[in-house]
Amino acid sequence: MVESAIQAGAKPVYGVLAEFDDVDSIAKAAREVRDAGYERFDVYSPFPIHGIEREMGLRPTKLPWIVLVCGLSGTSLALFFQWWSNAVDYPFKISGKPLFGIPANIPVTFEFTVLLSAFAAFFGMLVLNKLPELHRPVFESQRFRRATDDRYFLAIEANDPLFDAKRTSELLQKLTRNPVELCHDSGQSGALPSWLRAGFVGVAALALLPLAATVWARAFDTTRPPIHIVRDMDSQQRFRAQVANPVFADGRAMRPDPLGTVAWGELGASGAAQAGKRGDTFVDAFPLPVTSNLLERGRERFAVYCTPCHGQSGYGDGLVALRASELQEQNWVQPSSLHDPLVRTRPVGQIYDTIVNGVRTMPAYGRQVSSDDAWAITAYVKALQRSQNASVDDVPLPERAKLGVQ
Amino acid sequence: MTHTLARQAPTLGDRASRWGTIALGVGVIALAAAAYFGWAREDGFKRLQHAWLVACAFWLSISLGGLFFVIVQHLTRAGWSVVVRRVAELVAANTLVTAILFAPLVAMVLKGDASLYPWADPHHVAEHPLLAAKAPWLDAKFFALRVVVYFGTWFLIGRWLLKRSTEQDGASGVEPTLALERRAPPAMVAFALTLNFAAFDLLMSVVPTWYSTIFGVYVFAGSVMSFFAFSVVALRFLQKHGLLEREVNVEHYHDLGKFLFAFVFFWSYIAFSQFMLIWYADLPEETFWFKTRMEGPWAIVSVVLLFGHFLLPFAGLLSRHAKRRLGILTFWAVWLLVMQAVDMFWLVMPSVETSANPVTLAGIVSPIDVACLVGAGGIWLFALTKLAGGRALIPVNDPRLPQSLAFENF
């Protein structure tokens, strides 16, 4: 049968294929074939056979060394990049930790070591096994289909130096009771189709684009603003607080309530809002006793709500004001100094009214600050004004010694 | 096949009493030496208690690692490990002796002696608000009760696993094996809870103000690692004396080596996790524990652990060839057992203040430590030989024994 097959085949011979019934017989056959001096042969089985590589005389794989080298590269690359990016290129102190604090860098280093090791193991395995291989001439045998089911095959390839179609077939026939067949190479390629390979190259090239863009951005300076692909809500078209709006005659983007309207939820607040006035005149007496507790509360609330613009001492030099003048904001109205003679002579009712209802660009604080707290702040403002315009006569006698004055 | 094996089942035979006597003798001499060195020192009693805790924790950790291993084998119905499982069962069942070894420490707590556990002194607790908050848990009687529960659980599980497995040796069916597999899951839950809380109670409460939720896992990782190291050493020892020579081969050692390697890394992973979170959060009530261990001679011990317990054995056991060369594997197994002792020492001993100034490495290590380790070990090994006695050293009638005998790694 084999002889006739040799004569009939115009196609080149790929090798001889033998079929086995069980693991033991194929393991024995692999050893026989190896002992006969063959080197270019392979065993096909539905599952991995323990120890078959020993029977076949395969050399131990080089894969562990590839994984080791890639793993160590991962370790050193991750450490190097964290050191370079955080301690050298853009020194950035985080949580008071050293710029290059090893413990903080270990998790990334660990993950990157594992990542590169896994890549090396997976792709190294593919490369060493010359995979993917979509076709082998043995696939053309009808009986070979059972190699993924319940049969075991051994194929000796024709390019083995010892190969001789007749003698090799006889050797295998001695080892199995199943018919041994000659395989021909129909010339079909086992390589990936060219369009798929082109696709992989294309994807790989695309994957390099972000890297190229990063390198480009680092290498060249530009005055143009960054490209903002997803605009989100942080760059929407709207007017921000305190900016100019040419639509309105007064040029303000923040609109005051139209005359005669009351905002939602403010009806009940009108009592507090009006508490600074009796009729149309501002009151000049506190409606609650002025105690040191009230002043202390006022000092604390003043620090929370007033100091950002008016400053700790009330001269209108708070951080917001300083920042605004540094940016030369067109529509910024300088906050008043609380020690301006005009402000100092105002009745307490008017100061209270300013806090609760606002004035000019100063917003109304009636919603954040309760009526009592607004009075407390008023009391503190009065104390603050007094403190900045006091003479030594205001200091009680026992205290003067402490200040070193008479 | 199993019947032929059963007839020639390897046992220790008269070697059990001979080795037992040697172990007990060495142990008693070492204990006498520990008592002598302790008596000669001014703070000897305190030192003795700390050293005794280190020694007991070391030998207990091997038993607990063994308990974990045996339960996992039944849980996963493992085939490869049958030939090495009986030795593990004996190690796992050897907890009664550790309970006796621990008893003096618990007695000291009940007596109100606070030289090992500072919380045992009510005055000390009353002065520290942090300890006062923990007082309901760190209560002498409650502590003693918990220790009884821990050791009771380990003793019952360990003995039951051994009893059922020995029963299988002479059984006609596979009922004992099935029973072991059925009971393995609840045993694992009980093991996990008791080991975790025992680690908090016995080791972490030496510094009662310090806390680390991962501490139990840390102790677990070291325990399992030291069990695999002990297992390799014990099997090699038995084989040197002509036992299990045909049954246990390089394939089984290879797998034990893989486990040893895995738990070297797992210990390092947990140890670093514990360190990094505390280092990063930088809270004084947590960092002081590490600060003690990063200053003076304790920094040297920490570096010894970093290299000896992680980097060197990791590199040494990484290769397949290292795990399959028994000389190399045994070297690392012995090395890691030493490192487990160093680790227990590192956990407990910094609590002992030394009067020497400046503190040197020689100042923190004492002959008491070595004497206690050997003393507890002698008694522990003596109990192990008693337990091994006339039992077969492999589960001769286990349904998966043929699978284990024919086991091959890829």
Within a domain: residue B3? no
Q: Candidates 1.10.760.10, 1.20.120.340, 3.40.50.2300, 1.10.3720.10; correct CATH number of A270-389?
A: 1.10.760.10
Token pair belonging to A38: 């063959």
- The DSSP bridge partners found for residue A18 are A154
User: What pLDDT is stored for residue A271 in this prediction?
Assistant: 64
Residue B357 pLDDT greater than 80, yes or no: no
Sequence-ordered list of residues with C-beta below 8 angstroms from that of A297, at least 6 positions apart, any chain: A373, A376
Q: Which residue of B has its CA nearest to A97?
A: B280
Nearest chain B Cα distance for residue A75, angstroms: 14
Residue B3 binned pLDDT confidence (cut-offs 50, 70, 90): very low
Within a domain: residue B71? yes
A96 in B contact zone (CB under 8 Å): yes
Q: Which of residues 299-358 of B touch A (CB under 8 A)?
A: 318-320
Q: Which of B391, B317, B402 is nearest to B80 (CA)?
A: B402
Provide the angle, in degrees to the nearest 10, between the axes of the packed helices B175-198 and B215-240. 130
A107 in B contact zone (CB under 8 Å): yes
Nearest chain B Cα distance for residue A16, angstroms: 28
Residues found in chain B: 410
Block residue for tokens 């002990």? B230
Q: Distance (Å, rounded) from C-alpha A291 to C-alpha A198?
A: 85
Query: Residue B342's CB: how many other CB atoms inside 10 A?
Result: 17
DSSP letter at A143?
A: G
**C-beta separation of A348 from A285 below 8 A:** yes
Q: Is A52 left (phi over 0), alpha (psi -120 to 50) or beta?
A: alpha
Amino acid identity, position A104: A
**C-beta separation of B287 from B278 below 8 A:** yes
Residue B180 pLDDT greater than 90, yes or no: yes
Total structural domains within chain B: 1
Residue B313 pLDDT greater than 80, yes or no: yes
Q: Distance (Å, rounded) from C-alpha B74 to C-alpha B179?
A: 9
Contact A64 B410 (CB under 8 A): no
- Domain hosting B164: range is 11-404
Contact A64 B272 (CB under 8 A): no
User: What pLDDT is stored for residue A404 in this prediction?
Assistant: 75
Within a domain: residue B4? no
For chain A, the average pLDDT equals 89
- For residue A23, the chain B residues in CB contact (below 8 A) are none
Within a domain: residue B115? yes
What are phi and psi for residue A15, nearest 5 degrees?
A: 170, -170
Contact B280 A95 (CB under 8 A): yes
- For residue A50, the chain B residues in CB contact (below 8 A) are 408-410
Residue A189 pLDDT greater than 50, yes or no: yes
Give pLDDT tens digits for A233-253: 767 778 888 888 899 998 888
Residue B102 pLDDT greater than 50, yes or no: yes
**C-beta separation of B168 from B176 below 8 A:** yes
Give pLDDT tens digits for B117-158: 999 998 999 889 889 999 999 999 999 999 999 999 999 999
Q: Distance (Å, rounded) from C-alpha B63 to C-alpha A234?
A: 61
A106 in B contact zone (CB under 8 Å): yes
For chain B, the average pLDDT equals 93
Token pair belonging to A186: 């129909």
Give pLDDT tens digits for A263-276: 776 665 556 666 78
Contact B280 A48 (CB under 8 A): no
Residue A2 pLDDT greater than 60, yes or no: no
User: What pLDDT is stored for residue A235 in this prediction?
Assistant: 73
Block residue for tokens 């998790």? A107
Nearest chain A Cα distance for residue B192, angstroms: 26
Sequence-ordered list of residues with C-beta below 8 angstroms from that of A311, at least 6 positions apart, any chain: A317, A318, A321
Which residue, among A23, A49, A50, A61, would best test binding to B if mutated, counting the most B CBs under 10 Å from its CB? A50
Which of B279, B318, B320 shows the shortest C-beta gap to A103?
B279
Within a domain: residue B409? no
| Mean per-residue pLDDT, B381-389 | 94
Counted across chains A and B, CB pairs separated by less than 8 A come out at 22
Question: Which of A234-238, A299-303, A337-341, B67-71 has the lowest average pLDDT?
Answer: A234-238
Residue A18 pLDDT greater than 80, yes or no: yes
Which of A51, A68, A106 shows the shortest C-beta gap to B408?
A51
A62 in B contact zone (CB under 8 Å): no
Token pair belonging to B353: 């203040």
User: What pLDDT is stored for residue A277 in this prediction?
Assistant: 80
Sequence-ordered list of residues with C-beta below 8 angstroms from that of B374, at least 6 positions apart, any chain: B26, B27, B30
Which residue, among A24, A106, A114, A117, would best test binding to B if mutated, counting the most B CBs under 10 Å from its CB? A106
Give pLDDT tens digits for A3-16: 555 555 568 899 99
Within a domain: residue B2? no
- The DSSP bridge partners found for residue A153 are A19, A44
Nearest chain A Cα distance for residue B316, angstroms: 13
Nearest chain B Cα distance for residue A92, angstroms: 16
Which of B275, B318, B319 shows the shortest C-beta gap to A103?
B275
User: What pLDDT is stored for residue A357 in this prediction?
Assistant: 87
Question: Which of A111-120, A260-269, A348-357, B345-354 has the lowest average pLDDT?
Answer: A260-269
Token pair belonging to A163: 């190969």
User: What pLDDT is stored for residue A7 in this prediction?
Assistant: 53
**C-beta separation of A202 from A215 below 8 A:** no
User: What pLDDT is stored for residue B354 in this prediction?
Assistant: 66
User: What pLDDT is stored for residue B2 in this prediction?
Assistant: 44
Nearest chain A Cα distance for residue B88, angstroms: 26
- For residue A48, the chain B residues in CB contact (below 8 A) are 410
- For residue B272, the chain A residues in CB contact (below 8 A) are 103, 106
Nearest chain B Cα distance for residue A71, angstroms: 12
Residue A224 binned pLDDT confidence (cut-offs 50, 70, 90): confident
Q: Distance (Å, rounded) from C-alpha B1 to C-alpha A399?
A: 106
Nearest chain A Cα distance for residue B215, angstroms: 19
Residue B1 pLDDT greater than 50, yes or no: no
- Expressed in angstroms, the distance from the first to the final Cα of chain B is 25
Q: Please tell me the pTM assigned to this model.
A: 0.77
Query: Residue B13's CB: how many other CB atoms inside 10 A?
Result: 11
Percent of chain B scoring above 90 in pLDDT: 85
- For residue A106, the chain B residues in CB contact (below 8 A) are 272, 276
Token pair belonging to B70: 């045996």
User: Residues B285-291: contacts with CB within 8 Å, 24+ apart?
Assistant: B285/B130, B285/B209, B285/B210, B286/B210, B286/B211, B286/B212, B288/B210, B289/B207, B289/B210, B289/B212
A51 in B contact zone (CB under 8 Å): yes
Token pair belonging to A179: 């018919």
Residue B25 binned pLDDT confidence (cut-offs 50, 70, 90): very high
Report the alpha-carbon angle B94-B99-B100, nearest 5: 105
Give ipTM to 2 decimals: 0.86
| Mean per-residue pLDDT, A130-135 | 90
- The DSSP bridge partners found for residue A43 are A154
Residue B4 pLDDT greater than 50, yes or no: no
Q: Distance (Å, rounded) from C-alpha A178 to C-alpha A19?
A: 6
Report the alpha-carbon angle B149-B151-B153, nearest 5: 65
**C-beta separation of B80 from B406 below 8 A:** no
What are phi and psi for residue A109, nearest 5 degrees?
A: -60, -45
**C-beta separation of B256 from B84 below 8 A:** yes
Query: Residue A73's CB: how many other CB atoms inside 10 A?
Result: 15
Q: Where in chain A is the domain with CATH 1.10.760.10?
A: 270-389
Give pLDDT tens digits for A142-155: 999 999 999 999 99
In Å, what is the CA distance from A105 to each residue of A75, A88, A116, B280? 11, 15, 17, 11
